């Protein structure tokens, strides 16, 4: 989804010039004529950010870089591209239109899965490499294509009336696997023989499928895992029988569909989970003993480097205990490898890596207050801590055991930028590899020798280069330089570069902010405060902001001051920065947002009576709380798809931060928007997708009724048939026009 005085502790702003970063000084072509930025252009093709690729991967043999890219004529339809490193040739590998044309009739399960993945569009949206780098697998329109490198065309492996999901290539490339009708199937590629590994899925029973909260809240989008040698598959059996059924309406333009959905609201029963390992050849199935406590989560399952050891993580219902277990396939016994505890909650991660040259694994933990890496023997004995300090390791990018280097993504230099660092496994020395002043998203080759870096800053769209592991540049994959022919070029001369700074909270915690000033700051200007404010998210970054960032630019060019501050509770600052929201959502976040407004009121060009606030999802909740709890701070508000009552939201997310409503009633009452709604004074716009299956439309309608019953005027814009993300080009244009109109009407 998700302090009365202030003190400026840093008046030194990082001012980033669009001209120097985005337009080359050596460019001899004149820039295109100045054009006014408008909302229609922001959401139309070709994308203003240029040709930035996504889903970038290096082939396991290190010979190719592959990625998907939107068509120049359609921002929402994607093709598969390849860069051959040896030949230095970039080419379109597969045009989605050549493989499938017409509508892609997604199953309800696939629609829900894509919503969980925050994936939208059509065409080739995902793909995977074979372990030897000789073949590619990519789903398309519910079926799947297989391409052997060098072949004349791709082979369609599935062509069925059913919509298969979670399609994978087995580790050695001999099989594909997929979910059909809530069961696991495999298909041998060479012979075409298809085999059902499970047959009893259906109704409330699902095999190999991640449950709702696992997909939505745990980042776990699959429920089955191949052993490295293809001998076994581990999988979950999910029984949704205990989960309460909610009846909700999906309201479309010409129909209303009533849906009975298994939805585990906070404080109510979750699914029942079982974990199995099945031999592919003999069909022999082993049941793994998960313990006597059934009210648990199973957030991670992972094979070690061998097919003899399967690991799985068990998280307690209150998410204050996490155990890592190792299961020996031969002896069918489980061993506790480590246990983590927290007095608030434990954040999940994907940083369990088994080493090949020693009997050990690397594990990430926040036990010292910041996420860092630890080295363990495979039997669970702690050897040593590998990284430390008041900064966070974001993730492990690659491990080179030959040189003893761990390449990590982290925030050692600044929480506003992601960088790659090399960590020496023996000395724990940390060396930054990537360039400061940019935000870097990297993908390493399997042998950690080279990496692809997709990097940007707040004023510069993403550029993509290939580098040696030491940071030495090899070649551009997509320079994406904003020269005369770039889609962004016509708007370069009017570009407004934001400023960054920090404000100190009363406890001296440093809060980072970003500030866009109008081109002319004469007179007093209205302000739009954009926030999210919730956990595991960050708003203030030195990174290209996509279409939402372009909206900030548009508003600044229209004369608004646009401001964001990352309050306590948000991400990449360490656990102590996150913990103040525990059993107190909607409190410290608003106090920190008020600190931001206190700062804005000191600026000569800000009209203190015309400050508006906008956010979506948790940010929508924050907008409501800002308007209700601080009406003297915020005159106008826009709340998108908001949570209004945490008892209505799902178990894993809500109980992580708020405890259980059955035992923490007072905390839930205080975090609800309803006790404060009668304080509404300003002009509030609420919008919501009328088919939202995440933050249910009930959140909005319950608040509508409450405000109406109390004769409080407000504004509404609901979107028929739209889910939580409210996708679609024209819908996005309409939504941001409506938001802008609301601010124009009541702030200007």
- Domain extents in the chain: 51-163, 196-348, 350-473, 514-747
Going by C-alpha positions, the residue among 572, 621, 579, 565 that lies closest to residue 2 is 621
Any bridge partners for residue 254, and if so which?
A: none
Q: 606-616 and 636-640 as β-strands: parallel, antiparallel, unpaired?
A: parallel
Residue 26 known to be catalytic: no
DSSP SS3 for 740: helix
CATH number at 514-747:
3.40.50.1820
Any bridge partners for residue 682, and if so which?
A: none
Predicted pLDDT at 178: 95
Cis bond before residue 328 (omega within 30° of 0): no
CATH number at 51-163:
2.40.128.660
Rounded mean pLDDT for each run of 10 residues along the chain, 748 residues in total: 36 34 43 76 93 88 90 85 89 84 62 64 87 88 84 88 90 95 96 97 97 94 97 98 94 93 96 98 97 97 97 98 98 98 98 97 98 98 98 98 97 98 97 98 94 97 96 94 94 96 96 96 96 97 97 98 98 97 98 98 98 98 98 98 97 98 98 98 98 93 98 98 93 98 96
Predicted pLDDT at 2: 40
Any bridge partners for residue 185, and if so which?
A: 178, 196
- Which H/E stretch holds residue 638? strand 636-640
Catalytically annotated residue among 59, 483, 617, 639: 617
Going by C-alpha positions, the residue among 187, 184, 263 that lies closest to residue 223 is 184
CATH of 196-348, one of 2.60.40.420, 3.30.70.1350, 1.10.10.10, 2.140.10.30: 2.140.10.30
Contacts 24+ apart (CB under 8 A), 81-84: 81/53, 83/466, 83/477
- As a whole number of angstroms, the distance between CA 691 and CA 615 comes to 19
Residue 692 known to be catalytic: yes
Residue 617 known to be catalytic: yes
Predicted pLDDT at 74: 83
Distances in Å between the Cα of 91 and the Cα atoms of 76, 80, 153, 156, 455 are 20, 9, 15, 21, 22
- Which H/E stretch holds residue 322? strand 321-328
Residues 6+ apart with CB under 8 A from 98: none
- As a whole number of angstroms, the distance between CA 221 and CA 123 comes to 20
Catalytically annotated residue among 692, 693, 725, 742: 692
DSSP SS3 for 222: coil
DSSP SS3 for 511: strand
Going by C-alpha positions, the residue among 178, 207, 182 that lies closest to residue 195 is 178
- As a whole number of angstroms, the distance between CA 181 and CA 177 comes to 13
Catalytically annotated residue among 349, 372, 419, 724: 724
- As a whole number of angstroms, the distance between CA 717 and CA 76 comes to 24
pTM: 0.92
Hey, what are 405's tokens? 């280097």
Predicted pLDDT at 339: 98
CATH of 350-473, one of 2.60.40.10, 3.30.1050.10, 2.120.10.30, 3.40.50.720: 2.120.10.30
The rounded Cα 707 to chain-centroid distance in angstroms is 33
- As a whole number of angstroms, the distance between CA 638 and CA 551 comes to 15
Going by C-alpha positions, the residue among 463, 458, 544 that lies closest to residue 51 is 463
Predicted pLDDT at 419: 98
């Amino acid at each position: 989804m998700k302090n009365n005085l202030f003190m400026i502790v840093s008046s030194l702003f990082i001012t980033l010039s669009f001209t120097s970063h985005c337009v080359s000084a050596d460019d001899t072509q004149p820039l295109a004529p100045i054009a006014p930025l408008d909302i229609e252009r922001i959401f139309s093709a070709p994308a203003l950010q240029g040709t930035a690729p996504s889903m970038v991967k290096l082939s396991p043999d290190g010979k190719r870089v592959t990625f998907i890219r939107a068509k120049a004529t359609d921002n929402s339809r994607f093709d598969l591209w390849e860069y051959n490193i040896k030949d230095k040739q970039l080419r379109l590998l597969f045009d989605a239109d050549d493989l499938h044309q017409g509508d892609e009739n997604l199953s309800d399960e696939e629609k829900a899965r894509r919503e969980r993945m925050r994936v939208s569009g059509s065409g080739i949206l995902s793909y995977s490499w074979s372990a030897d780098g000789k073949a590619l697998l990519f789903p398309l329109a519910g079926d799947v294509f297989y391409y052997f490198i060098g072949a004349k065309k791709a082979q369609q492996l599935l062509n069925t009336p059913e919509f298969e999901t979670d399609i994978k290539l087995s580790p050695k490339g001999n099989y594909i696997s997929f979910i059909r009708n809530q069961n696991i199937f495999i298909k041998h590629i060479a012979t075409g023989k298809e085999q059902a590994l499970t047959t009893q899925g259906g109704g409330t029973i699902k095999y190999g499928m991640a449950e709702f909260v696992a997909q939505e809240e745990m980042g776990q989008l699959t429920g089955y895992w191949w052993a490295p040698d293809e001998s076994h598959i581990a999988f979950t059996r999910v029984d949704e029988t205990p989960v309460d059924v909610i009846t909700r309406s999906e309201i479309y333009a010409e129909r209303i569909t009533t849906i009975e959905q298994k939805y585990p609201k906070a404080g109510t029963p979750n699914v029942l989970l079982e974990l199995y390992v099945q031999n592919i050849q003999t069909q022999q199935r082993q049941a793994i003993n998960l313990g006597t406590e059934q009210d648990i989560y199973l957030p991670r399952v992972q094979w070690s480097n061998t097919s003899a050891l399967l690991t799985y993580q068990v998280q307690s219902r209150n998410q204050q205990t996490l155990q890592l277990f190792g299961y020996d396939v031969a002896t069918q016994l489980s061993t506790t490898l480590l246990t983590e505890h927290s007095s608030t909650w434990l954040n999940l991660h994907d940083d369990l890596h088994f080493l090949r040259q020693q009997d050990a694994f690397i594990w990430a933990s926040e036990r010292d207050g910041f996420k860092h890496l630890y080295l363990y023997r495979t039997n669970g004995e702690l050897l040593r801590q590998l990284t430390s300090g008041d900064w966070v390791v974001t993730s492990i990018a690659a491990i080179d055991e030959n040189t003893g280097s761990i390449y990590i993504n982290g925030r050692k230099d600044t929480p506003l930028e992601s960088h790659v660092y090399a960590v020496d496994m023996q000395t724990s020395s940390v060396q930054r590899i990537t360039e400061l002043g940019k935000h870097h998203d990297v993908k390493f080759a399997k042998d950690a020798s080279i990496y692809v870096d997709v990097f940007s800053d707040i004023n510069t769209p993403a550029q993509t280069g290939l580098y040696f592991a030491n940071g030495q540049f090899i070649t551009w994959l997509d320079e994406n330089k904003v020269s005369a022919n770039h889609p962004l070029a016509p708007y370069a001369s009017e570009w407004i570069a934001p400023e960054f700074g920090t404000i100190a909270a009363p406890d001296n915690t440093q809060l980072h902010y970003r500030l866009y000033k109008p081109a002319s700051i004469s007179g007093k200007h209205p302000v739009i405060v954009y926030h999210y404010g919730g956990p595991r998210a960050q708003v203030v970054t030195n990174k290209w902001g996509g279409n939402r960032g372009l909206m900030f630019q548009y508003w600044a060019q229209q004369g608004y001051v646009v401001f964001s501050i990352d309050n306590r509770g948000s991400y990449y600052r360490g656990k102590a920065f996150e913990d103040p929201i525990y059993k107190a959502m909607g409190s410290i976040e608003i106090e920190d947002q008020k600190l931001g407004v206190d700062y804005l009121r000191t600026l000569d060009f800000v009209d203190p009576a015309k400050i508006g606030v906008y956010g979506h999802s948790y940010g929508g909740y924050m907008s409501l709380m800002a308007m209700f709890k601080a009406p003297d701070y915020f005159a106008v508000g826009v709340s998108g798809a908001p949570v209004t009552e945490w008892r209505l939201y799902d178990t894993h997310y809500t109980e992580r931060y708020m405890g259980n409503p059955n035992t923490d009633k007072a905390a839930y009452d205080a975090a609800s928007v309803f006790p404060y709604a009668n304080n509404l004074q300003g002009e509030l716009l609420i919008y919501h997708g009328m088919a939202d299956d995440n933050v249910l439309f009930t959140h909005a309608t319950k608040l509508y009724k409450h405000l109406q019953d109390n004769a409080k005027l407000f504004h509404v814009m609901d979107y028929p048939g739209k889910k939580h993300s409210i996708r679609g080009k024209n819908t996005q244009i309409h939504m941001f026009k409506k938001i802008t109109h609301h601010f124009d009407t009541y702030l200007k």
